[in-house]
């Protein structure tokens, strides 16, 4: 006797459909809380080897997943696109109740395998990786805001250092939001302010050069606002917020590295030229336990770089990647290829060789197709090394 629980998860509640040998015997709505999960647990305990099917709905299905793992129940978690393809032909109308029942009834036909449950460390790495990515997005957004208000207040200060970024630069912007603050200080006061703007030791010669340059920029500037303008506070806020965000992101990176270090794939990924600690931890965080994939092609589909093919009669459409997978992983690996190419001058890599060869042979100026093709090769390399627990060797990679 087979008993299948089909669960359609929503934000606050879930629809449960219980089918025995293909026939519906019970169904109900449960809240996604301890009361609802206790009700579900009671029903699960009444049968042996229940099969549990639900669709991944982002953060909403995380609580159900955690509850099932805590109580040692196997489950099948469906990708939303996979679920849509499997169920669209089975339903005439779409409601939560119907979806729950169709999830369960389709299991008797499709006999899906239970989802591979990763170790907790991979989920923690995934959550930290997303936190790191969100902080990076916040930093970019705040940098743009600071640049915008500085164009009104003191645009010349962006030329003070080689790049308008970093703790010292943001501290100086916070202290000197307009040129008025610079010109009101004596040379001694200005040098002391610059000296105090960074926690790192700075030479007197460097302090003098910065003071001289800052005065020159201040005299050159024509601010569109007065010393009492509300925009002054906005300049200070954005500069201080950038310091806070970058410090927090650094702490998150340290946590990521600490979590990832004991994993064997961490050292394997670092052995690939061009992959540093940040990239290695981000790749593990987004891809999780790579051993759960049956082939490198499954990873391609997971991140959405598998090709979409369209052919009808004599017409053959241009192939494009599906972009249906993990966009964060796709972005990380995209940047990774360019890092590998940049590092190849001192650390040769067969992936960089492939990338450069494709560029030379190409008739187009865009590097995107070569990058996507190189990501395919990088994924195959990572998959092979991790599955066989080997470090990267350029000499061996060339021969394959």
pLDDT tens string 50-91:
999 999 888 899 999 999 999 999 999 998 767 677 676 555
Do 127 and 226 meet the contact criterion of CB atoms below 8 Å apart? no
pLDDT tens string 25-55:
999 999 999 999 999 999 999 999 999 999 9
Q: Is residue 315 scored above 50 in pLDDT? A: no
CB neighbour burial string for 191-223, b if at least 16 within 10 angstroms, e if fewer: bebbeebeeeeeeeeebeebbeebbebbeebeb
Which of the four pLDDT bands, split at 50, 70 and 90, describes residue 316? Answer: very low
Q: What is the pLDDT of residue 58?
A: 85
Task: Give domain 3-110's CATH architecture.
Answer: 2-Layer Sandwich (3.30)
Which of the four pLDDT bands, split at 50, 70 and 90, describes residue 211? Answer: very high
Between CA 164 and CA 162 the distance in angstroms is 7
pLDDT tens string 93-141:
678 789 999 999 999 999 999 999 999 999 999 999 999 999 999 999 9
Between CA 298 and CA 376 the distance in angstroms is 11
Between CA 395 and CA 391 the distance in angstroms is 12
Do 375 and 337 meet the contact criterion of CB atoms below 8 Å apart? yes
51-55 and 3-9 as β-strands: parallel, antiparallel, unpaired? Answer: parallel
Which of the four pLDDT bands, split at 50, 70 and 90, describes residue 323? Answer: low
Query: What residue spans define the domains of the chain?
Result: 3-110, 124-257, 263-398
Q: Which residues contact 92 (CB under 8 A, 6 or more apart)?
A: none
Do 256 and 285 meet the contact criterion of CB atoms below 8 Å apart? yes
Radius of gyration of the chain from its Cα atoms, rounded to whole angstroms: 28
76-78 and 13-20 as β-strands: parallel, antiparallel, unpaired? Answer: unpaired
Between CA 123 and CA 288 the distance in angstroms is 7
pTM assigned to the model: 0.85
Q: Which helix (H) or strand (E) holds 234?
A: helix 231-260
Q: Which residues contact 248 (CB under 8 A, 6 or more apart)?
A: 135
Q: Which residues pair with 9 in a beta bridge?
A: 14
pLDDT tens string 356-398:
988 888 776 677 788 888 999 999 999 999 999 999 999 887 7
Between CA 398 and CA 400 the distance in angstroms is 6
- Neighbouring CB atoms inside 10 A of 235's CB total 24
Between CA 26 and CA 39 the distance in angstroms is 13
Could you tell me which of 385, 357, 383, 389 has the C-alpha nearest to residue 370? 357
The domain made up of 124-257 has a fold known as Helix Hairpins (1.10.287)
């Amino acid at each position: 006797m087979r008993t299948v629980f089909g669960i359609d998860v929503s934000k606050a509640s879930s629809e449960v459909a219980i089918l025995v040998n293909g026939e519906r015997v019970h169904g109900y709505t449960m809240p996604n809380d301890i009361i609802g999960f206790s009700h579900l647990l009671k029903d699960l305990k009444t049968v042996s080897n229940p099969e549990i099917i639900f669709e991944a709905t982002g953060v909403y299905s995380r609580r159900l997943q955690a509850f099932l793992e805590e109580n040692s129940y196997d489950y099948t978690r469906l990708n939303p696109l996979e679920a849509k393809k499997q169920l669209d032909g089975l339903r005439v109308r779409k409601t939560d109740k119907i979806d729950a029942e169709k999830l369960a009834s389709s299991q008797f036909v499709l006999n899906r395998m239970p989802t591979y449950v990763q170790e907790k460390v991979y989920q923690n790495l995934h959550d930290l990786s997303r936190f790191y990515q969100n902080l990076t997005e916040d930093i970019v957004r705040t940098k743009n805001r600071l640049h915008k208000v500085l164009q009104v207040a003191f645009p010349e200060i962006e030329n003070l250092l080689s790049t308008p970024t970093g703790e010292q630069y943001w501290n100086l912007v916070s202290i000197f939001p307009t040129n008025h603050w610079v010109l009101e200080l004596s040379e001694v006061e200005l040098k002391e302010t610059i000296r105090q703007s960074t926690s790192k030791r700075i030479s007197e010669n460097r302090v003098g050069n910065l003071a001289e340059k800052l005065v020159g920029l201040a005299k050159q500037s024509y601010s569109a606002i007065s010393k009492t303008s509300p925009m002054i506070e906005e300049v200070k806020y954005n500069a201080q917020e950038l310091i806070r965000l970058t410090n927090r992101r650094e702490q998150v990176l340290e946590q990521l590295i600490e979590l990832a270090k004991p994993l064997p794939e961490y050292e394997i990924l670092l052995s690939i030229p061009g992959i540093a600690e940040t990239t290695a931890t981000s790749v593990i965080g987004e891809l999780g336990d790579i051993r759960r994939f049956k082939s490198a092609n499954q990873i391609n589909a997971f991140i959405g770089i598998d090709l979409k093919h369209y052919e009808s009669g004599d017409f053959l459409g241009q192939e494009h990647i599906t972009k249906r997978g993990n966009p964060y992983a796709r972005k990380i690996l995209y940047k990774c290829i360019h890092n590998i190419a940049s590092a190849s001058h001192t650390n040769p890599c067969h992936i960089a060789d492939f990338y450069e060869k494709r560029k030379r042979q190409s008739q187009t100026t865009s590097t995107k197709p070569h990058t996507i093709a190189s990501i395919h090769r990088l994924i195959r390399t990572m998959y092979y090394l991790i599955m066989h627990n080997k470090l990267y060797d350029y000499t061996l990679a060339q021969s394959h």
